[in-house]
Structure 1
């Protein structure tokens, strides 16, 4: 396969163009040269830094349009588009002082526009900003984003929820490929570690036009760590300590780059004891250990850019079945426990063909999930192997119209090796074809697209008819046509309006089609339905946002109608002392939104106030409430920024108050949840001690040791509270 791809690239480069160079000077608005500005071309994974005179330069660039990003702390990010037509182009930039968030290039959407030019509202968060909140895991950090929540089991397992939708209704992308890890189950997390991840982009709503099945509820798109600037070598070490779980997370990374070649290696090990609730007791067997390794190598010249990355993530998870029992500070998991290995390989390439280009993303994911009851022999073992591809051809521009056509697909096999089966051995094949166009005039943008998908599912018969664990053979084909249309305009200076209407779909997963037994951790006897249809939805989104140098606000509203929504429903029967539930379908609707503001008063440049509110309501066709809908949330943060002489730069201190409201809108087998308030503190900055410099974060989460139970906690049915006070210390050294 690798040789074939190399031959393909070499064949396409018969259209080669002469190499291009780009250079320029970066100044402040006072016409002073700005050194140490980071200049980065995302598409080529290529970066450099301005010298003492504010000068920068690139060579070996392809002809055509490229996005170039200029970043310097304390200044507003500049995103420029340059059209390279001559051998030497000049791009000079003037940067304006600003402490507001950067206007990032959005990678998860089709045309990679900066957010202010994007038709779709996409939330972008750097991993550093999430880590500064002191969260223990990546999913905990994501749950601080308005509109995003998590279904959790203690601190070790978390599944993302976007506007009330979770599981197979939310797609996760890393390294440019979709993650497949039996996401129908609640007993394991993302299989990703925040070490070696640069940022995350959150699409809240149907994204089937670009991503196919399972993007009905939204997409989490993780951007990997950038390579080093050209002709540099960097070493990085970070350490985090957690008081509540007596945990630690250690990460070491190396990376280097020449003009054409670049590479990186990063390893991480995290270990945690059972988490402690506010009364001082620990929740037995919520301990876990995680090993993560990431590496990558890339090459770029004037004709193409290609990056190969590999990520291994290994999890050793305790399964908390006893509640609060044996008290221990051990980090060695007890039975029952779970072992999960994830291998992710990706090849992301761009071939430049004059006025057009070809994006090709290939991915292979091997997910091995094992469960142990009381011995080293796995009673449950599922091996999921997935190969996926995504090819997008960017047609030559026709005036102000940009257009893309593409194909996307997946081939997946699920194989069981243990005594117990949750789902049968199966093969899944996806194929989709799509086209999308973007038309921009003045401050207006119109974007639309159309897509067709086919998914084929074949399962093998297993077991004895009429007994638990019997799976009938299934041979199903699911088709869907989806469309999206969006419009963005500036109603006034700094005031943006976005309106989007999009459809999405989700083919039923293997558990919904074929379950026949007690599902792990639920104590329910679940019966699948081989005749389930596609879930098909249409969502309307309205976004209004305003931003100037001292004040910004946003309001997002959505209405999501889902045909044939799949959910589990009690039958009233009992099998083997467990209540029987079956998968059925009905139309459903979800509605709500998010709002927020950020106030940065002048002349108090060191002070920031941020507030945000999120709400979602989910109902079935008969107006009964949907299960697993997060409670309304209101979050407020006061943040100050400062420096202390020469030993502390980029310093910050924050106080946040998070209010989660009561959740009384529950389904038939859920219980209502009480509201609660949590207070968090944060302090950090870049410390200089002689020649030694490091980034420090100190956080106190749940400062007042509040006892609470989140509505989406899977330990709620046993009355087990969430984590108590947690002091987190993080240190990050660039060596």
Structure 2
């Protein structure tokens, strides 16, 4: 596949209405094997280019060579998506709001993690952060277990309820991200109340018998982040293999208010491998990943006068917070990890198989994951973990898509998870040892009638969760608590036994009306369902890494939402415009609130840690996202991309609002109005070894957030701010046309603005009621210059 006679990498090739498809390699080559003879329409597409459709005739035993020339454009309506549908389908026919980010767009955003790249590229997606490396995705103001994160279509399970760790996925190994907004992904599970983020890894498609790969190097000046990744791929006949090894390390980040933020360094190491076989009957893919992260735990303690960060060296009554020693300067720029840190390991093995049964397709996915999470918070006994839990998860998914009958595409199946969570040799126990089994069945249907595409379905889920009596008692060996039996001396019951079955029905119905080839209207209504997670119903203890004592409520009911979406999309010759509106009414919405006593003073269960109690009420979220991108065909070197996202979260507990004099009117963790504008200049032609040269300048503006959950100072108002970012990129090529490397240079927060995002948890890490400089809490990252080089081979 080519553009202006130059190879086009990572483009999509699909035979319309079938399961046959692939992507081009870095040289523009592709190959689809074992195709049933017949007449097909081959669809060639890629982000930033107009789709090309070519009729091809496949005859048995005779190879067919078909090149396609794509013209530059911006239409994404014909892009093929795989998330949340019965068969791979075009974006234009899906009534559910969905956004696609390809490898090219992901590469151009130099970030600390994959979630940050998505928040920059997808309006309506934000993240709750705890420093630069920890980002929990939120979609339209909803996050945690309400966002279903998938890795290659398999749901990611790794203690999502925790605030202080991110997604255990290699950002360098992702070739594509698909984001669904809203509770309309029937085919993946009940928890997707907010939406789905599907992170799809690279599948090799190079020349037979040749080893291909890339080396990626990433450096950031602010926290000294050094990232390196080696990817290898090999293809021989029907088999494809891929392997990637990634390492990242960073010292503490900095800003002009706090200087270096003590205990925000991290180390991360990831390995992944894949083997896939494609046959006439379909394909089978085996993959495994291992993730190892050591992330320091900031607590925000400081010297009261100098505001320099201090180090905890004692515990309990011996810990004088006001007289802790100041963190030495060499600790602040060290790549070593301090004794107070969390250690997260995640292991995954899975298989995906598709078998063609006549004109129908049977698909299965089976996976096993283990998440091991340890948090070390004892300075006098640094090898003793405060929190130590192991979560084992079995994923299963079976579905069948019958032959298309009279234009009706259908799919049905069953999927879910089985989990066990166990505490190990720890001193703090925020959640019990629980067993969980989740199963759901779905039916999905789609049909095109004239200019209208109609799709929808229904799903039923049931979840069984239980735990036995959980006792804790004194540990003479270390002076802390440990897990004990009821018969042990000093035993106290921390988690009484619990058994419950949750169940719910969800569904969606949507319509896409094709006004023309370039404009369409979309409408969708969906009912979502989510069972309470373990911390919401079972928590009763300190999570050391979050510095929060969680208190749950075992009487909580499941959440049910009813969301309406309305969208208009127009991809014109010189511009594209997207407007999406949503209204989401949620029954039994669960949220965190700081706990105060009858006198209005914060409840302190563990000194130096905040106590939060989960609440439940009706809630409403509504808002809109807009995108307007200008790309004149007569001025090919010019692009102006603009977006805006706005959401309001209303707490509908009228009694609580009245009692709190309006302090509880709004929901917590709601992002403010966000406006992003990017000017991009793309130089045409080549300049020596440089080609595809671009310059970009970007303004990220966040309005003040004055609609916040103020009860018990759970949240405080957040001033608005504007960040200016800039970047330059180019592909370097040899005279022979071979790519030498891709180079990306980026400057974020160019003017070093001091700001706090209202979704930054570190904003509330403060030990004093007032400070000499009038600043409270920890600020976000300051100016950061970064460089990334991708060397293919």
Q: TM-score, normalised by structure 1?
A: 0.90
**CA separation in 1, counterparts of 2:137 and 2:54?**
34
Matched, 1:306 2:284: yes
Q: CA deviation at 1:289?
A: 0.6
**CA separation in 2, counterparts of 1:85 and 1:489?**
36
Paired residue for 1:386?
A: 393
Change (3 A) 1:683 1:171: same
Q: What pairs up with 1:87-166 in 2 under 5 angstroms?
A: 95-100=69-74, 102=76, 103-110=78-85, 111-144=87-120, 145-166=122-143
Stretch of structure 1 that moved more, 516-525 or 113-122: 516-525
Paired residue for 2:779?
A: 721
Change (3 A) 1:128 1:274: farther
Q: CA deviation at 1:35?
A: 6.3
Matched, 1:449 2:507: no
- Root-mean-square deviation (Å): 2.8
Paired residue for 1:634?
A: 675
Paired residue for 1:660?
A: 702
| SS of equivalent residue, structure 1 residue 396 | coil
Change (3 A) 1:521 1:670: farther
Please tell me whether the aligned partners of residues 351 and 357 of structure 1 are also in contact (alpha carbons under 8 angstroms). Answer: yes
Paired residue for 1:364?
A: 368
Unaligned runs of 5+ in 2: 302-307, 310-326, 473-485, 598-602, 658-664, 767-776
Q: CA deviation at 1:47?
A: 5.2
**CA distances 1:545-565 after superposition (whole Å, capped 9, x unpaired):** 100221100001000111011
Q: CA deviation at 1:478?
A: 0.4
Please tell me whether the aligned partners of residues 440 and 459 of structure 2 are also in contact (alpha carbons under 8 angstroms). Answer: yes
Paired residue for 2:561?
A: 537
Equivalent position to 2:206, from 190, 207, 229: 229
Please tell me whether the aligned partners of residues 228 and 234 of structure 1 are also in contact (alpha carbons under 8 angstroms). Answer: no
Paired residue for 1:16?
A: none
**CA distances 1:387-439 after superposition (whole Å, capped 9, x unpaired):** 01111100111111010010112111001102321211111001111111101
| SS of equivalent residue, structure 2 residue 187 | helix
Q: What pairs up with 1:616-631 in 2 under 5 angstroms?
A: 616-621=647-652, 622=654, 624-631=665-672
**CA distances 1:652-675 after superposition (whole Å, capped 9, x unpaired):** 110001100000001022100000
| SS of equivalent residue, structure 1 residue 706 | coil
**CA distances 1:306-338 after superposition (whole Å, capped 9, x unpaired):** 111111111000001145522321011113200
**CA separation in 2, counterparts of 1:95 and 1:124?**
22
Change (3 A) 1:570 1:458: same
Matched, 1:427 2:421: no
**CA separation in 2, counterparts of 1:278 and 1:71?**
45
Change (3 A) 1:96 1:256: closer
Equivalent position to 1:706, from 746, 750, 753: 753
Stretch of structure 1 that moved more, 631-640 or 251-260: 251-260
**CA distances 1:661-711 after superposition (whole Å, capped 9, x unpaired):** 000001022100000000001101101356771100000110011110110
Q: CA deviation at 1:94?
A: 5.5
**CA separation in 2, counterparts of 1:319 and 1:252?**
29
Matched, 1:70 2:78: no
Change (3 A) 1:446 1:95: same
Q: CA deviation at 1:70?
A: 2.8
Change (3 A) 1:468 1:281: farther
Q: CA deviation at 1:212?
A: 2.0
Please tell me whether the aligned partners of residues 25 and 204 of structure 2 are also in contact (alpha carbons under 8 angstroms). Answer: no
Q: CA deviation at 1:519?
A: 3.9
Change (3 A) 1:74 1:356: closer
**CA separation in 1, counterparts of 2:126 and 2:24?**
37
Paired residue for 2:582?
A: 558
**CA separation in 1, counterparts of 2:46 and 2:150?**
28
| SS of equivalent residue, structure 2 residue 186 | helix
**CA distances 1:106-156 after superposition (whole Å, capped 9, x unpaired):** 111213212122222211112441331322222221221210111101112
Please tell me whether the aligned partners of residues 20 and 32 of structure 2 are also in contact (alpha carbons under 8 angstroms). Answer: no
Q: What pairs up with 1:132-211 in 2 under 5 angstroms?
A: 132-144=108-120, 145-207=122-184, 209-211=186-188
Change (3 A) 1:369 1:280: closer
Q: TM-score, normalised by structure 2?
A: 0.84
| SS of equivalent residue, structure 1 residue 651 | strand
Matched, 1:355 2:362: no
Change (3 A) 1:251 1:313: same
Please tell me whether the aligned partners of residues 150 and 196 of structure 2 are also in contact (alpha carbons under 8 angstroms). Answer: yes
